[in-house]
Amino acid sequence: MAVPIPRRGNRKAKTQESVGCDFSLCYAGKQSIEAILEKQPGKYATTSKSKADANRLYHADNLPVLAALAQDESVVGKVRVVYIDPPFATAASFESRKLNHAYDDQLVGPEFVEALRARLVFIHRLLADDGSLYLHLDGRMAFRMKVVLDEIFGEQNFRNCITRKKCNPKNYTRKTFGNVADYILFYTKTDDYVWNRPMEPWDDARAMKEYQYTDEDGRRYKKVPVHAPGVRNGATGQKWRGKSPPPGKHWQYPPAVLDEMDARGEIYWSPNGNPRRKIYFESSEGVPLQDIWMDVRDAHNQNIKITGYPTEKNPVILARAIEASSNPGDLVLDCYAGSGTTLAIADQCDRRWIGVDRSDEAIKTILHRMKYGTGPMGDFVGKKKQTPTLPLFSSSDFALYSECGTKKAKSASK
């Protein structure tokens, strides 16, 4: 596989402050960012007397809620992670497994793009400087929204397009490949962001294949290069033990550090006298998670525990995003809260949370989840009664907000 060699000085450097990109998405009805930020904040009544820093659940349209949060000094610039799973521009309506109407997904084309873009503009403002956004979409709009996010966050702050296997293989009769994937666009607000690298545990077969060599003392190790792409003029570009780095490359460490590693027995010398670094299995924390996720399908058998809300996502997705991009005590936002999976996992991970959804069914589902937890998928279609799990929520301190004058306040007690 070819490895690119980075060039220096051939592109104009971008700073963290330089938001924007070399491309933009052009469509009818596109507003300026200034016009979006002029959106009037909503006014909301709360049904509880929780602490000022309590978790919050809003039963309202999320745009005026985001505008209100942008004026809240306890929130603006302090949100560490935003995960959103908005409608996918399907032009369809969705019902729960109990056939209750959940939401309409009628916005398509430019109207969908602009509606989501307006929310993302406020989300960018709400994020902390070291905060992250995870936007979950399918192939209909993911790649259009990639360009929009480059405009808002800056293309230099794009981190990953995560491909997620969402279901089992499909036996299509139409002339196309089976659609089994959707996408999560991962952006950060700046280049200095919270990152707790997700790791997968080793299995024996994979460990034996990766760490195939054994020291005299029985410790397993693998060999990796001690050089990296790119020419350097400092110490890492000079000779070490009479050897220059390979053409177009440099040593990963200064010669003095390489000497120390060699003295500790951490350098393997080939019969031809070429150095390689020994990496010991015992020092590995696991396998770094990559950007293709095959193990987080949505509910696919009768025993998986769910709420029954449509388009409910696998909790492992949320756990990975929240734990990777925040720390205990940080604030998590989901303004398309749906079944409340983001809120439940944030709570379970000892994060504070804010959830927003306009759907009556979504709010009912979240409150039911807080009190009763989730139940096996078979509860909704099966024949025998099964006991729900204990609630994932552990917090008792939260406030439920509703739009003043439009919805009757509901009890937020658990």
Q: In 3D, which of 349, 344, 333, 346 has the Cα closest to residue 389?
A: 344
- Model pLDDT for residues 211-240, shown as the tens digit of each residue: 999 988 889 999 999 999 999 999 999 999
Say how far residue 358 (Cα) sits from the centre of its chain.
Answer: 23
Domain residue extents for the chain: 33-198+289-403, 204-283
Is the distance from CB of 391 to CB of 369 less than 8 angstroms?
Answer: yes
Q: What is the mean pLDDT of residues 388-398?
A: 68
Of residues 338 and 305, more confidence is placed in: 338
- Strands (E) located in 28-155: 44-46, 55-59, 79-84, 92-95, 101-105, 127-137
Query: How much is the average pLDDT of 116-133?
Result: 98
Reported as a single tens digit per residue, the pLDDT across 271-282 is 989 999 999 998
pLDDT, tens digit, 9 for 90 and up, residues 130-180: 999 999 999 989 999 999 999 999 999 999 999 999 988 878 778 889 889
Task: Report how far residue 281's alpha carbon sits from residue 212's, in angstroms, rounded to the nearest whole number.
Answer: 10
Looking at residue 193, its pLDDT comes to: 98
Q: How confident is the model at residue 410 (pLDDT cuts 50, 70, 90)?
A: very low
User: What is the mean pLDDT of the segment spanning 40-60?
Assistant: 83
What CATH number has the domain spanning 33-198+289-403?
Answer: 3.40.50.150
- What is the predicted pLDDT for the residue at 152? 96
Mean pLDDT of the chain: 86
Q: Which residue has the higher pLDDT, 16 or 132?
A: 132
The confidence score (pLDDT) of residue 384 equals 53
Q: Report whether pLDDT(12) > 50.
A: no
